[in-house]
Amino acid sequence: MLDDQVVPVLPCAPAICYSGYRAGQSPATAQFPSREQILEDLLLLQRHWRLIRLYDCGPHAQRVLEVIHREGLQLRVLLGAYLEAEIDNPRCPWGGCHDAQTLRANRLRNEAEVDGLIELARRYPREVVAGAVGNEACVDWTDHLVAPSRVRELLRRVRRGVELPLTVCDNYVPWLGELGAEVGAEVDFVSLHTYPVWENKSIEHALDHTQANYQEVARAFAGKQVVITEAGWPSAANGRGFPAVHASEGLQRLYLHALLDWTQRAGITCFVFEAFDEKWKGSDDPLEPEKHWGIYTEARLPKRFVAGAQARG
């Protein structure tokens, strides 16, 4: 539960991660959702959500902020600056090693990305309520590894450029190690990710695992707001990483209801991962688990979690 001594930086409002890529679209191919598609998404989301999280400062995020501003939507944004690899990571199971030229270019790109965060936060001061430097850039399995000391340097770069509450979004484990030691005093709030299914927890033990992750980090950063910036459950899977039987719309519904009941009662800001299925992610297998975390399908059809909420009114 949120300590009474903690002054929240982010409100405890319904929050969700949003990435709007549809069929044939992908950041890798620079095919981005149109403003009309984004508006369709946001009008759907604002029925139930008030905070959205964006991962980077590229064209997609720019269009999202433009649409929110132009349409006067009530959604507010935690805006991320996505950091690419600056260090090789041979521990990454799907390839975390890069040539020296790529790593040098990524370092410059990361500086431009945080400058983009500064610029967008200045341009949209009403819409952008907080910024995040890095997304899972310090956890030991990442393919885009950045040293925690470098994350601190980039945080300070943003701090010099704009007055904005800042955080770093990462798995709960790095917060208890070097990342926490380097940036704990620099961030205005701590943002952790927790995924019980990726750690082979069944639905019966899922919420307990999430709560334990949260409480361990909250104890380490007493007096500072701790936000869950990613927690979710897949609706389909092929058995890669965890048993396929652990993924279904029914299990997604059970976990998210339990998660949101707990976080709302405890006054914890929690971003559900995620709004829509993203078929561009992962392998070509249609049951690749990375493709199935949305509470809506890629066709914008509600899954059981949303359908149940709508039925209750």
Q: What is the CA radius of gyration of the chain?
A: 18
Q: What's the pLDDT score for residue 6? A: 82
Which of 191, 219, 189, 188 lies closest to 1, judged by CA? 219
Tens-binned pLDDT, residue by residue, of the chain (313 aa) = 556 578 789 999 999 999 999 999 999 999 999 999 999 999 999 999 999 999 999 999 999 999 999 999 999 999 999 999 999 999 999 989 999 999 999 999 999 999 999 999 999 999 999 999 999 999 999 999 999 999 999 999 999 999 999 999 999 999 999 999 999 999 999 999 999 999 999 999 999 999 999 999 999 999 999 999 999 999 999 999 999 999 999 999 999 999 999 999 999 999 999 999 999 999 999 999 999 999 999 999 999 999 766 544 4
Which of 84, 149, 85, 162 lies closest to 116, judged by CA? 162
CA 303 to chain centre: 20
CA 35 to chain centre: 22
**pTM, rounded to two decimals:** 0.96
Domains recognised in the chain with CATH numbers: 15-312 (3.20.20.80)
